[in-house]
């Protein structure tokens, strides 16, 4: 009986040791994965800010504080919504606050967000409007701007998906000027990309300008 009890205790202690070791190994792997993800996101943010500084020299010293008390649509008679510097600054500031957010299909929070929800959230936070969260639906709101050189700050920029020969809209971003746009990419999450990167230049279809007419439609 005594031998049985000793053997049982030994097996019990060995079992605890094995479980502790496995748990430690799992936690260690999870910690390393979390650290790796954090470093990956930070590098994407740094890369995006470098592109902003390179291509949009006027915005490298922008304040990260949101501009408040801008709920009245005093730009509705202007030729361009973003001729109003307050909204121009607020849009870019809001985009900067989302940099590094991971990609998640169907996601709409800072835990994970896809391309069309990113656009919808940015416009929601900038203008207080419920913008549709579907790239195809978003594209149908606009009269197409077919030439990249005709795009200006704040325009939406639409792409096909993986199949570059398809005419179906599968991706959307917000154009910032000089070839750069903000979007949520499947590989890097919310980043700023230059159109010269081959994948996107081959898939660009058209742009769309957020006019007062479109805002009036969305607000109804």
What is the structure's pLDDT at 4? Answer: 45
Reference 80, options 207, 213, 173, 219; nearest CA is 213
Q: What is the pLDDT of residue 118?
A: 98
173: nearest Cα among 109, 220, 103: 103
Residue 68's pLDDT is 37
Each residue of 73-87: pLDDT tens digit? 444 444 567 777 788
Identify the three-state secondary structure at position 123. helix
What is the total count of domains within the chain?
A: 1
> In this structure, is residue 116 part of a structural domain?
yes
Q: Which helix (H) or strand (E) holds 98?
A: helix 85-98
Q: Please indicate, yes or no, if residue 81 is contained in any of the structural domains.
A: yes
Which residues participate in catalysis according to the annotation? 115, 171, 183
User: Which residues does 121 contact at the CB level (< 8 Å), separation at least 6?
Assistant: 98, 108, 113
Q: Provide the pLDDT for residue 24.
A: 58
**What pLDDT, on the 0 to 100 scale, is given for residue 138?**
95
In a domain, 2, yes or no: no
| 27 belongs to a structural domain | no
Q: Both tokens of residue 96?
A: 């900067």
Residue 39 lies in a domain: no
Q: Indicate whether 100 belongs to any domain.
A: yes
Instruction: Collect all residues with Cβ–Cβ distance below 8 Å to 86 and sequence separation of at least 6.
Output: 67, 70
pLDDT along the chain (220 residues), means of 10: 48 53 57 61 82 71 42 47 81 92 96 97 91 93 92 94 82 94 95 89 92 71
For residue 146, the domain's CATH number is 3.90.1720.10
8 A C-beta contact, residue 189 and residue 103: yes
Give the distance from CA 218 to its chain's centroid.
Answer: 22
**Predicted local confidence at residue 25, as pLDDT:** 59
pLDDT digits (tens, 9 = 90+) for 159-177: 998 877 777 899 999 999 9
Domain of residue 135, residue span: 45-219
The CA distance from 58 to 46, in Å, is 18
Q: Is 17 within the bounds of a domain?
A: no
Whether 142 maps to a domain, the answer reads yes
pTM of the model as a whole: 0.76
Question: Three-class SS of residue 182?
Answer: strand
């Amino acid at each position: 009986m005594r031998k049985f009890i000793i053997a049982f205790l030994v097996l019990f202690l060995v079992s605890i040791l094995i479980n502790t070791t496995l748990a430690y190994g799992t936690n260690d792997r999870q910690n390393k994965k979390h650290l790796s993800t954090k470093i990956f996101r930070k590098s994407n943010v740094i890369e995006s800010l470098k592109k902003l500084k390179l291509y949009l020299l006027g915005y490298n010293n922008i304040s990260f504080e949101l501009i408040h008390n801008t709920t009245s649509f005093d730009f509705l008679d202007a030729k361009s919504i973003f001729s109003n510097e307050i909204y121009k600054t607020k849009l870019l500031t809001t985009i900067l606050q989302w940099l590094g957010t991971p990609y998640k299909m169907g996601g709409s929070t800072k835990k994970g967000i896809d391309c069309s929800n990113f656009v919808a959230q940015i416009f929601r936070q900038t203008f207080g409007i419920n913008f549709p969260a579907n790239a195809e639906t978003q594209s149908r709101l606009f009269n197409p701007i077919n030439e990249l050189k005709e795009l200006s700050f704040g325009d939406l920029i639409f792409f096909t998906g993986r199949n570059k020969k398809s005419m179906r809209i599968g991706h959307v971003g917000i154009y910032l000027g000089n070839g750069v746009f903000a979007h949520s990419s499947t590989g890097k999450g919310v980043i700023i990309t230059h159109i010269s990167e081959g994948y996107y230049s081959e898939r660009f279809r058209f742009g769309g300008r957020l006019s007062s007419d479109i805002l009036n439609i969305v607000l109804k």
